[in-house]
Structure 1
């Protein structure tokens, strides 16, 4: 099995393909999954296509990116994995369909993503960059063994009061923290 496909106890993880566009758009256009950052919700499939193009580029250039996560029956559970961020760190991220929340899928996806990142480039730190008020994501990062390394303003967020947290699996240099949090 390559990194392009993986299995957990309950998930089938695959590198996204063009046929995934409709399901991924349905996920990314759902207001419920964007409760913490509503301005990022996709309002047309072209935005989702750009996301899938970026994920595809990560797979082509680095050999790892986000997966589409489905249950064994083929129903979409979500999307997530590790993508290289600014060439400095693996960014751990996931977005689950509202119906899939609270069932432990995030932890399964995160474990698979961490294992894949460590197989592909163990020398690259794994980070999670999340909004402070997203308590579920914070808890998932902490369960994954990531430590809080930075707290500060969310550059570029339309909400001037938004606060970001940066978690990492190891200490990060001040230069890496600055680069990751300035964009």
Structure 2
């Protein structure tokens, strides 16, 4: 069994070789297809794999006719179990800081995505990779050197989990809003009342 630890990380992976924390291309998600062909992901796939625990996630469905209106959906486990998305991490060292600076290192992370399972395809063409419990130890084990075949096997193992996720349409809420009402299903009389 792999020994792990829980850490807070900055969303959006920054490769260790980057000169700056914020890089020019998006790394909030990592496409699983051909992942080891890209320098950004190759190193983390080998031994810096993480599980990103979530209770659910949001996805926005774009109206196919107008291409403008977006409907939010909350996607989560039908049994309300915690999901574990396949993730990658990297420790980034700030070259502008002194060795004794406590903020010298920043932990950064991302999630893997794959082509959407049929059950989610009507909302978006990609979905995160929710690993089944029997994959957690292997995914975290740094002694198992990850390659494209390992990632492909993880994607395959995740398909049944992704196919069983519950999908709830939720109301769009104002920016910077946080609270339990973010996951309430849309009903005909749902109204947002600021507190």
TM-score tier after normalising by the smaller chain length: under 0.3
TM-score normalised by structure 1 residue count: 0.26
TM-score normalised by structure 2 residue count: 0.25
1 or 2 for the larger relative contact order (CA 8 Å, sep ≥6)?
A: 2
More helix by share: 1
